[in-house]
Chain A
């Protein structure tokens, strides 16, 4: 009994510690992004752009593939469901809203967690193992400014951008399937979709995607920094970063959707 209480207590303090770390990391990254240039130690634009290319542009093809498939899948399921009411043509409403409000940001978030969250954890983790982080510290180069801030900024910008792209491709996937199955023209499909989607729907998706970007960045970076124990530790941190960020992503999605729709 005491042992159970002990382990629950330890898990709880661990969780509090972890969230404290995320908070500190966010604050410090924002500090360097805002005041670094004033203090003569700017967050490097070149590093940020490189991160953006790596996490954003390079992810575009796979985001295209996945969200196209999601669009097709939603169309198939929607048509199947609505056929029971003889209302197949209403499928556009379902696709348009579920893509912009939910599937676009979520699919993008999960994909970025798998690609960039793991890459961040592995890169920073192996730097930790090789004492490169120590070397940065003793040279007076803040590892948060040099490594974390560019990644945080890149993800905060690129995840919403990818989400918009995913929204469009998923709608396109739906259009392709609807034209094949229902003989609906692309023009009619897009007309209808645009008439259903409000700015609010898009914004809801984008607000969530900003949060997802932050989650992936923080979990990846903090797991990288806390690596100990050589190559095995790097592997563990990478796995942990991906699994944890996907968990937090889905939980945050649920909470946010609940509060945004009250």
Chain B
């Protein structure tokens, strides 16, 4: 990708995050370049979901700076934040479609709230977005009537409603069968190539990660193990990264004394 040379769409500098005295993210720094697909990978509990929540501005960091599209998210006025949010689309793990609205109304919601377009125009635009994700004709269904894959695609259509520059995906392939999951991967690639979006995908699915990634960031225990191009990650000599890539179970190093102590609860 030629995007590597251009300015970063996302910059995270020395991000420390956590709650209740527990540190979930410890000095995380990373960059996402404009027009690339960045995969954030890591095992369960590695802090990848927490990192995503901070990138989206849903949680406040303890310290550190997050810049989206060049704007420091820590010091934005309400209006600036709104302007930024219109440039960000998010597809949540469970879809997070509003269950009281139809699929079409869900996709139309950002347009209805943030633009002064006529209702008929909004309806057409919502249908167009649904066509993009191959859900044309489903706009009158309720979210509860859709299958898992359809919900993810509808959530993607809603994320695309405002034509965002930045697109975030939380576990796009979780709970989907391989075919549907691969279709979703193709869709993500199409979005980057056709619309030049910067896309951040949080996942633990290796296969899909390597298929769509331009660069990969691997998180482990709240720290960045590596953040680089796909081949660099594949050839990294860190044992932990290789464990993650080859699905090796983690060796448990625990002395007999420690084990005894843990069992007795002392």
Contact = CB atoms under 8 A, between A and B. Distances in A.
Genuine A/B complex = yes
B58 A132 contact: no
Contacts of A82: none
A135 interface: yes
B208 interface: no
Interface stretch (A17-25, A91-99, A138-146, A178-186): A138-146
A136 B96 CA distance: 9
A163 to B, nearest CB: 28
A100 B96 CA distance: 46
B122 interface: no
B57 interface: yes
B98 A132 contact: yes
Interface residues of B, number: 23
B82 interface: yes
Interface in B166-213: none
A19 B97 CA distance: 31
Contacts, number: 54
A116 to B, nearest CB: 16
A130 interface: yes
B99 A135 contact: no
B92 A140 contact: no
Count class of interface residues, chain A: 10 to 19
B109 A141 contact: yes
A185 B158 CA distance: 65
Interface of A: 40-41, 126-127, 130-132, 134-141, 146
Interface of B: 53, 56-58, 81-82, 85-86, 88, 90, 92-94, 96-99, 109-110, 113-114, 116, 158
25 contacts: A126-B99, A127-B98, A130-B94, A130-B99, A131-B92, A131-B96, A132-B97, A132-B98, A134-B53, A134-B56, A134-B58, A134-B92, A134-B96, A135-B96, A136-B98, A138-B56, A138-B57, A138-B88, A139-B85, A139-B158, A140-B82, A140-B86, A140-B110, A140-B114, A146-B113
